[in-house]
Structure 1
Amino acid sequence: MRLRPHHLALLLTVALPLAACGANDPSEGTKAGGNAPVASAQVRAAPGLFTHDQIEQAMPSAQPASASTTPAPASPNGQPAATPPDPAMIRLQVLLDRSSFSPGVIDGLHGENVRQAIAAYREAKALGTGDAVDAALIQSLATADAQPVMTEYVLTPADVGGPFSPSPAGEDLSVQAAQGTNFSTARERIAERFHMSEDLLQALNPSVDFARAGVAILIPALIDRPLPQVARIEVDKAEKAVKAYDAAGTLIAFYPATIGSGDNLSPSGNLTVVGVAPEPDYLYDPSRLTFGKGERVIVPAGPNNPVGSVWIDLSRDTYGIHGTPDPSKIGKTASHGCVRLTNWDAEQLAAAVKPGVPVRFV
């Protein structure tokens, strides 16, 4: 999205916490969201598509992540059925997420975002080039992080109690400005909190009513591990990725990204970070833009705001790196010139940058 958030100048000096969208503080500084222990009096959901142990023990296939393992079966109407999640891919995606080499949304599916994250991790860890899921990759990920990849979490009243807003519909931002930018359902909120798709969340917990507190669900065991200080950022438009480096030139984070389009190109060359705006309002001003139509409007802050939960302002007017209301589309669609990440990836990056950090578009 190519537009500076409203009141940005008032926010640039605010220190951005890792969970800028207002998630609960991590429990003991380890699992994101403060996972509650499961007591015997709490309701346990019926088993889902995979059990905890099936995911923990699954071994990814020793082939390029871009390769398809099995053809999608045909549905009764003769059309290809949706590819089912792979427990080994869930495990791999969680490990990549915890390493800061983000696969984007954890959905248990092979895809381009996962392939690129694997290739970036292999290069950074001197495991060779390419995207092969081999023994060296698995050993490196497992050695770096031996904790379980799945855990149980008990839904709290705060998880299920709202407030909620209608799903954004169409391009009329005045409607969203009036209706709000909160999550549309408790299931959407919980899925984003644990970096996963709503489909996978439901498949792992098929009997759960996500509007009900006190139910134990199976979710990724995320780890709140902040980045070291970022010394420079590279935005790779061809690869649709954002890469963060430390002062020694080491690649410390990789994020899939949505970057520009044919009609609304992203910048080229060198810019710098100007500042960070957590939970920004979004100002749509058609007089300053080359896209869209309608009246000037301010869309309030919220996770489903057009620029998501955080904005990293860049030194070219109206351009930034920011979050998104639809994490499942990252790397799969175009933006209006800016650089869009999942909210959680944008928050992690924003917490590790300072004004003056160089940002190179290649």
Structure 2
Amino acid sequence: MTTSCAQTATPLQRPMRPEDVPAQTADTSAQTESAETSDENDPRYHVVASAPVSNWLEVQIELARRGFSSGSIDGVRGAQSAAAMKAFQRNNQLRETGDLDAATRQVLQLTDAVFTTHIFSAEEYAVLQPVAPTWLEKSQQTALAHASALEMLAERYHATPGLLRRLNPGIDWENILPGVEVQVPALGKFTTTLRPTLIHVRLADRVLQATDESGRIIVHFPVSIAKIVEKRPVGELQVVVVVPNPDYTFDPVNFPESAEGQELGRRLIIPPGPNNPVGVAWIGLNRPGYGIHGTPDPEKVGRTESHGCFRLANWDALALLSIAKVGMRVVVEP
């Protein structure tokens, strides 16, 4: 199909340390006491089920578990985190402030430990490979796999590389070897029993949502849209194909800015993988060349434009792929 456009889950028994939290995070007073406290009887060192979230890192992790993505998790209340919070508040008949206010604290409860431990494996190490710099060289690779352990784990746990560095200050990421234990956000594969009937893209807000018949939001994701206004397909569309792990057709016609493409003058098939231009999922629409897909650059989603398609972080594209069906309506509004 061509398109155009080993883990453990052992909860950590301590709170996040002050040096692990970005300076801009809000309301971290509950977790900023001395990092040297190590009393195992201290209740702060044990995750209590159904405890209210207490800071924006916990907000991002808990919302992601429920299908409300803030993009790459960094612990900072930015525009994408506020939009995810508003979607959650709408579902729960709360005032849509986008803030972690008192009413939201009562509803948004932690459902699991905030962090878990990932043991980097020999199998994961074996599949890492650099991404070639040119389109021709990319087409000759066996796969466009992750280039580094940091990139792999950041994508798997929906985090910015910077967050993983802060959570694991003792790791030499350039020379990481199998067997190293890494502290990561406690996130797994998204699942839901709800049945979406509509995918809704709001171009002005740069968000994509899937809703059920009653209008309840099942998933909420930040999305990149076409840079050129004329290439934004406003109106009603339909899903015509759902493809996991797609390859990609590089067509120089679509990349007039590429000197290499103009010199090649021919199409190339780019192999699948997370660093493929359309990431790990392709949801094709009934407009030739258009689809919803992943990306190798999750931190750019919602902040930079695409050539025409709707671009999601790979983890969000996979979540959408799991619930999208051929024939599903897609409504795009300005």
Global fold match (TM > 0.5): yes
- Answering whether residue 117 of structure 2 is matched by residue 152 of structure 1, we say yes
User: For structure 1, which runs of at least 5 residues remain unmatched after alignment?
Assistant: 9-23, 25-33, 39-43, 63-86
- Answering whether residue 187 of structure 2 is matched by residue 225 of structure 1, we say no
The change in CA–CA distance for 1:105 and 1:272 in structure 2 (over 3 A counts) is same
How many Å separate the matches in 2 of 1:225 and 1:187? 22
Report which stretch shifted further, 225-234 or 235-244. Answer: 225-234
C-alpha contact 1:60 1:92 (8 A) present in aligned 2: no
- Answering whether residue 215 of structure 2 is matched by residue 249 of structure 1, we say yes
User: For structure 2, which runs of at least 5 residues remain unmatched after alignment?
Assistant: 29-53
Letter of the 1:319 partner, please give it.
Y
Cα displacement (A) at 1:135: 1.9
Matched position secondary structure for 2:213: coil
C-alpha contact 1:162 1:186 (8 A) present in aligned 2: no
Alpha carbon RMSD of aligned pairs, Å? 2.8
- Answering whether residue 148 of structure 2 is matched by residue 185 of structure 1, we say yes
C-alpha contact 2:119 2:179 (8 A) present in aligned 1: yes
Q: Please list, as runs of the form range in 1=range in 2, the aligned pairs for 1:195-214 lying within 5 A after superposition.
A: 195-210=158-173, 211-214=176-179
Instruction: Report Cα offsets for 1:240-268 as digits up to 9, x if no partner.
Output: 01011012321111100101113662201
C-alpha contact 1:36 1:154 (8 A) present in aligned 2: no
How many Å separate the matches in 2 of 1:292 and 1:274? 30
The aligned residue for residue 240 of structure 2 is 274
221, 227, 238: which one aligns with 1:261:
227
Cα displacement (A) at 1:107: 1.2
How many Å separate the matches in 2 of 1:115 and 1:308? 25
The aligned residue for residue 8 of structure 2 is 35
The aligned residue for residue 103 of structure 2 is 136
C-alpha contact 2:3 2:282 (8 A) present in aligned 1: no
- Answering whether residue 89 of structure 2 is matched by residue 122 of structure 1, we say yes
Report which stretch shifted further, 129-138 or 338-347. Answer: 129-138
Q: Please list, as runs of the form range in 1=range in 2, the aligned pairs for 1:1-362 lying within 5 A after superposition.
A: 6=2, 34-35=7-8, 37=10, 50-51=16-17, 60-61=26-27, 88-142=55-109, 145-166=110-131, 169=133, 172-179=134-141, 180-210=143-173, 211-227=176-192, 228-262=194-228, 265-287=231-253, 289=254, 291-293=256-258, 294=261, 295-362=266-333
Cα displacement (A) at 1:88: 2.3
Cα displacement (A) at 1:138: 2.3
Matched position secondary structure for 1:344: helix
How many Å separate the matches in 1 of 2:220 and 2:256? 29
Matched position secondary structure for 1:207: coil
TM-score norm. by structure 2 comes to: 0.80
How many Å separate the matches in 2 of 1:315 and 1:205? 45
How many Å separate the matches in 1 of 2:2 and 2:208? 25
Higher fraction of helix: 2
How many Å separate the matches in 2 of 1:257 and 1:109? 18
The aligned residue for residue 45 of structure 2 is none
The aligned residue for residue 20 of structure 1 is none
Letter of the 1:35 partner, please give it.
T
The aligned residue for residue 73 of structure 1 is none
How many Å separate the matches in 2 of 1:61 and 1:134? 11
How many Å separate the matches in 2 of 1:264 and 1:183? 34
C-alpha contact 1:61 1:134 (8 A) present in aligned 2: no
The change in CA–CA distance for 1:232 and 1:178 in structure 2 (over 3 A counts) is same
C-alpha contact 1:284 1:298 (8 A) present in aligned 2: yes
The change in CA–CA distance for 1:7 and 1:245 in structure 2 (over 3 A counts) is closer
Q: Size of the alignment, in residue pairs?
A: 293
How many Å separate the matches in 2 of 1:271 and 1:113? 25
C-alpha contact 1:161 1:186 (8 A) present in aligned 2: no
How many Å separate the matches in 1 of 2:147 and 2:118? 21
The change in CA–CA distance for 1:291 and 1:140 in structure 2 (over 3 A counts) is farther
Letter of the 1:116 partner, please give it.
A
C-alpha contact 2:283 2:321 (8 A) present in aligned 1: yes
% identical equivalent positions: 35
